[in-house]
Chain A
Amino acid sequence: MSVLRRTAEGSAAPPLRRIVGLVRSRWPGLVVGAGAGLLASAFSVALLATGAWLIARAAERPPIVVLSLAVVAVRACAVGRAVFRYAERLVTHNVTLQVLADLRVAVFCRLERLAPTGLPMFRNGDLLSRLVSDVDAVQDVFLRALLPWVSGVVVALLTAGGVLILLPSAGTVLVAVTLLVAVVVPRLTRRWSRRAEAGALKARGRLSEDVVDTFERLPELVAYGAVGRRLAGLAETERRLLHHLDSAARVRGAGAAAVTFATGAAVWCALVLGVPAVRSGSLSAVLLAVLVLVPLALADVFSPLPLAAGELTRAAGAAARVVEVLDTQDPVVEPDRPARMPVAPYDIVVAGLGARWPAQVGDALRGVDLDLPAGRRVAVVGESGSGKTTLAMVLLRFLDPLAGRITLSGVDTRELDGDAVRKLVGMLAQDAHIFDSTIWENVRLARPAATSSEVRQALGRARLLDWVDSLPNGVDTWVGEHGDRMSGGERQRLALARVLLADFPVVVLDEPTEHLDLTTADALLADLLEATRDRTVLAITHRLRGHEDFDEIVVLHDGVVAERGTHLDLMRADRRYRTAYEQEVELLV
């Protein structure tokens, strides 16, 4: 969790460095993995070097004792190489998966702070792609990029150091080849493929969004005969992706060719430098074979290096997107030191409230006053888009006021922890999410400690118990993605049962009867108001009937209060409210 807090600060460090810093606690494991890899590669080079010396020396027919140490060394190198390679793989993969889990949780915790008002800026498909692909790509930084690179370069330089002692010119060539393969070629390929890789990542993100989108609206697309055009649009994105991938493939091919060539050239140079050295006597003839075959052994060490660099480039783009999520500003500023929560009774006062959604231009609310002492029931009515839902968002501390303030028993809610406020102020939203789980789990979410009879009671009060009991699996029935196996009315009743179980002292009802038929809606509203009679209620609705006995009715129009008073007051005033009310009643007859 300490990992997560650090991310909220945000900094100007490049995304990859941020990610590496983020998993500081996993560094020891990463170092152990790199060390094992280093030893494995070192044994691999030593195997061929000792083998070459053994054969070259044997050709001079020395007594067998001279060779016995080399014989043992060759076998030891063979075993050492295999064992350390195994250790490396095991350690690095395990650490990397831990890193992956850390990153997933970090990204989720950030999203948790942003929901729901900071969220519309992310499209859902993008979110999915962000977590699954980007975080996975970021883990490749460690497994496929950093670790192989570090251990490969160290081994190559150690080898070059050894050759440098035998023949300085050949050692220098190896250092140069190492730098070429580990630094120059990757740098160049990275520069040349940067645009293609970035383009590919963007196209892939776009494709992923479009694919999720297409799956979600397939029934509608089929009904409107729009599937063909939709697929054509996807094919266009796919073509763009292919174009970028092809350019990247060409650069990768050039990189692979350069590395293969550099390794071969090292062998060639060793011959060209070694043969005259043997002739002049500055190099013992036996060591010529070692000098020539060692670069051949380095081919194994070099071959993953350009790949590592490529992974690094790809991961940089993904890391940038992950960091973008981590750096998105909170829609709500939580207090550093929350004020003490007031005790019951909870009186809410809204004074001169103005509010605006993130990244929107116009104010959704302006100068709204509202008095909501404990036990009072207020209805906020108005046409679609009049700012009713914004008011609910600010009350639940999902959105900070732009002007004015909201106090809870005298304490400004901005000084209180959002989660603490939401323990007292609950909401039944018109689009409450039903999770892909059982009825039981969906209801119990509100209070995990609730007993079976409490859950059943809540279902009963939401008038859903008879239906639930008629199901073969009862409360254990699986409701499907978004509750798709239930009807709209059943879904809303399930959400209602959840709110009743949570037992909030203050309840915001955001169009609770939206999807229900008239008779059920009337009965439900009556039940609902009866069940919440002993607590504070703020009903947000465009349906006027059923709220006649509320203590106050506030008519919102275009973000400001147009009218307010009791039902009788407003009927007497004979303005907007009365017209709408009479129209509604008339339509019923």
Chain B
Amino acid sequence: MRPVDPRLLRLCPPAQRYLTLTVAVGLATAGLVIAQAWLIAIAVSRAQLGGDVGLDELRTLLLLLLVVVLARAGLAGAQETAGHRAGARVTAHLREVVLRRSAMQAASPAGSTGGRAVLVTRGIDALDSYFARFLPQVALAAVVPVVVLVQIALVDWVSGLLILVTLPLIPVFMVLVGMHTREQTARQWRTLSVLAGHFLDVVQGLPTLKVFGRARVQAAEIARVSDQHRSATARVLRVAFLSALVLELAATLSVAVVAVGVGLRLLDGGLDLRTALVVLVLSPEAYLPIRNVGTSFHASAEGMAAADEVFAILESPLADQGSSRDVPDLSNASLVLVDVAVPRPDVQGDRLPRTSLVVLPRELLVVTGRSGAGKSTLLGLLLASLAPDTGTIRVAGIDLAALDPDAWRQEVAWLPQRPLLFAGTVADNVRLGEPDATDDEVAHALHLASADFVTGLPGGLQTVLGESGAGLSAGQRQRIALARVLLRVQRRDSGLVLLDEPTAHLDSATEGRVVSMLVRALAGRTTVVATHRKPLTAVADRVHVLTGEPSPAVGVA
């Protein structure tokens, strides 16, 4: 068990400051605990044994005790506030770091969307209780027992010795148990993550499940998976709690033995009442912080497991990317693909078998081929969101791999096969890549995409769409996505336009309109369209058919 992950401290400055503060609070608390014990012991022993002692004689003691009580309250409040604030800040910081990193790995994000989302929201949030509860306990456990033990030993070395012998048993045992439960806690966390991914999948598939009458069965499946998670957790907890039992037994029995021993030595006259009371009050305080570490351990272990996952993401290597921002003028550049191929992960056959192809400047090239022949993959290569496994792509003689992908994509407009609309207005959706575009420009782009129906919507351009464009038909969504591309083309004077099935979901009348508008809007720009629709191939300058079979090698230039 590592109570404090050094990587966490390195990554988050607020965590470092907070740790320092927590240790200071721990020291102050230890001092106050000892002061309080002395004040109580002196007051009680004087009142019990001093004969006729009243409040007047104890005035100073009582005033001091009140000050100590107030100071302890203030420290407790400050620690609580600081803990939650630090937890919130570290969580926010980690979330941002993970999102940024994921954006850099966009082409091949590891793990399911559901799993990563759980990590970035709930998983990282588990760190909050780590900072607010666990870390202060660790600081107290490191400071208070030592100070208290020294104090006890100074007044009664016998009790001090007893505590000195039993106290180290607790952390030693805790480390042993911690090593044992760590792996299991990690496994439990993975189960939760799988559970979340599974649930999202099932909920998204609910309509399909209902069509086949399988939805109700899934309730039982969720119950089964939850129960699996429960028994896994219960196994971890049984061991974790067993360790807590042993720790508590060690602590409470030691306190009992100290109390009985002190009492018996009082009988012999080997000890005075004041000292005995100090020892009785302080001895539980020696064990309390360490015990509290044990009880908050499993809550924090969840947070640490999530932190490990975060670091796994942050430490995974990034693919090599070019850095040249010197993108050639695309209006006069040929794109030459030589023997490029992209393999399919886990599945036999290639996403794109070996292909060679030249795209001439300002031509409208249509790429066809049966489903799965690699049309979308080819567009991904030209977008530089995918890198070919073999072969090269040259733009005006420059290797595309040497160019900074961000700089390259500035010059390219792309329509994905399944464009996603987000919740927001129609205008905001069209403006995705061009936030500064005016309403007129947006309206013009919509017109070019034959999406004039927007003017008929109740809110016009400002009509608010639901998630994934809910409220519109598939064909309407497609045309809004097309407008998004055309707005970019117009504003940036894009030299290269990549369209993946631009007329999917359209009825033939609309398709005809869209095709003729596209031909006009994209005239003079290098355009690559992946499609199998006749209306588009009919207007192409050239048609390239992907057969799904490797084309003969031409050798790498």
Cβ < 8 Å to A, chain B residues 195-221: 195-216, 218-219
Interface residues of B in 496-510 (CB under 8 A from A): 501, 504-510
Verify A245–B280 contact, CB threshold 8 A: no
Cβ–Cβ < 8 Å partners of A98 in chain B: 230
B394 sits at the interface (CB 8 A): no
B317 an interface residue at 8 Å Cβ cutoff? no
Q: Which residues of A contact B200 (CB under 8 A)?
A: 124, 127-128
Tell me if B260 and A71 are in contact (CB < 8 A).
yes
Say whether A238 faces chain B, with CB atoms less than 8 Å apart.
yes
Q: Which residues of B contact A61 (CB under 8 A)?
A: 266-267, 269
Query: Are B252 and A271 neighbours in the complex by a CB distance under 8 Å?
Result: no
**CB proximity to A under 8 Å, residues B404-419:** 406, 409-410, 412, 414, 416-419
A112 in contact with B215 (CB, 8 Å):
yes
- In the assembled complex, the Cα of A423 lies from the Cα of B89 at a distance in Å of 53
Asked if A489 CB lies within 8 Å of chain B CBs, one says yes
Chain A residues in 8 Å Cβ range of B433? 224-226
A448 neighbours in B (Cβ, 8 Å): 214
Give 30 A-B contacts (CB < 8 Å), ordered by A residue.
Answer: A48-B280, A55-B262, A89-B241, A90-B238, A112-B216, A115-B203, A115-B206, A116-B210, A120-B470, A124-B200, A132-B192, A136-B122, A223-B383, A225-B433, A226-B432, A234-B99, A253-B77, A254-B77, A288-B44, A289-B277, A292-B43, A383-B509, A385-B476, A419-B216, A470-B348, A515-B371, A516-B371, A542-B508, A544-B508, A587-B512
Q: Which listed residue, A260, A382, A477, A583, touches B72 by the CB 8 Å rule?
A: A260
Assess the B416–A123 pair: CB atoms within 8 A.
no
A241 to B96, CA, bound (A): 14
Assembly CA distance A254 to B78 (angstroms): 8
Shortest C-beta distance, A464 to chain B (Å), equals 11
Q: Is A123 a contact of B210 with CB atoms below 8 Å? A: no
In contact, B222 and A125 (Cβ under 8 angstroms): no
Q: A257 touching B48 by the CB < 8 A rule?
A: no
Report how far A204 CA is from B45 CA in the complex, Å: 55
Interface size classification for chain A: 35 or more
A211→B120 contact, CB < 8 A:
yes
Given contacts A51-B259, A384-B475, contact A261 B201 (CB under 8 A): no
* Interface locus among B54-62, B160-168, B356-364: B54-62
Tell which of B4-12, B109-117, B328-336, B519-527 binds the partner: B109-117
B2 is an interface residue with CB less than 8 A from chain A: no
B223 in contact (CB, < 8 A): yes
Contact between A133 and B122, CB atoms less than 8 A apart: yes
Residue contact B371 to A488, C-beta cutoff 8 Å: yes
Q: Are A445 and B222 in contact (CB under 8 A)?
A: no
Contact yes or no, A218 B253, CB < 8 A: no
A436 to B223, CA, bound (A): 19
Select from chain A the residue with minimum beta-carbon distance to B92. Answer: A238
- Asked whether any CB of chain B lies closer than 8 Å to the CB of A490, the reply is yes
Which of B63-71, B395-403, B440-448 is found at the contact surface with chain A?
B63-71
Q: Among the listed stretches A75-83, A152-160, A559-567, which one makes contact with chain B, having 4 or more residues with CB under 8 Å of it? A: A75-83
Q: Which 7 A-B pairs have the closest CB atoms?
A: A489-B371, A384-B475, A257-B77, A264-B69, A253-B81, A517-B532, A224-B433
Which residues of chain A are within 8 angstroms of B81 by Cβ–Cβ distance? 249-250, 252-253
Q: Which residues of B contact A85 (CB under 8 A)?
A: 244-245, 248
- Cβ of A337 within 8 Å of any chain B Cβ, yes or no, is no
Nearest residue, chain B, Cβ from A271: B43
- Which of the listed residues B53, B103, B348, B414 has the most CB atoms from chain A within 10 Å of its own CB? B103
Q: How far is the CB of A274 from chain B (nearest CB, A)?
A: 7
Q: A101-B230, A271-B58 are in contact. List 10 more A-B contacts (CB 8 A).
A: A67-B264, A77-B252, A116-B210, A218-B103, A242-B88, A242-B92, A249-B84, A264-B68, A384-B475, A419-B216
For the complex, give the distance between the alpha carbons of A69 and B266 in Å. 17
Q: What is the 8 Å Cβ interface bit string for chain A, positions 293-316, against chain B (1 contact, 0 not)?
A: 100100000000000000000000
Q: Which of A271, A515, A544, A580 has the most CB of B within 10 A?
A: A271
Give the chain A neighbours of B505 by CB distance below 8 A.
384, 514
* CB nearest neighbor in A for B377: A487
What residues of B have a CB within 8 angstroms of the CB of A253 in the complex?
A: 77-82, 84
- B205 and A583 within 8 A (CB): no
Q: Which residues of A contact B370 (CB under 8 A)?
A: 489, 517, 519-520
Flag whether B556 is at the interface (Cβ < 8 A): no
Considering only residues 480-537 of chain A, those with a C-beta below 8 Å from chain B are 481-482, 485-490, 495, 498, 502, 514-520
Contact B234 A231 (CB under 8 A): no
Contact of A116 among B36, B206, B432 (CB under 8 A): B206
Is B425 interfacial (CB 8 A cutoff)? no
| CB atoms of B470 and A207 under 8 A apart | no
Contact (Cβ within 8 A) A123 B47? no
- Bound CA–CA A215/B453 (angstroms): 30
Stretch at the interface among B16-24, B179-187, B339-347: B339-347
B243-267 contacts to A, CB under 8 A, are 244-245, 248-249, 252-253, 255-257, 259-260, 262-264, 266-267
B73 CB–A CB distance under 8 Å: yes
**In whole angstroms, how far apart are the Cα atoms of A264 and B73 in the complex?**
8
Closest to A467 in B: B372
User: Distance in Å from the Cβ of B399 to the closest Cβ of chain A?
Assistant: 20
A183 within 8 A of B: no
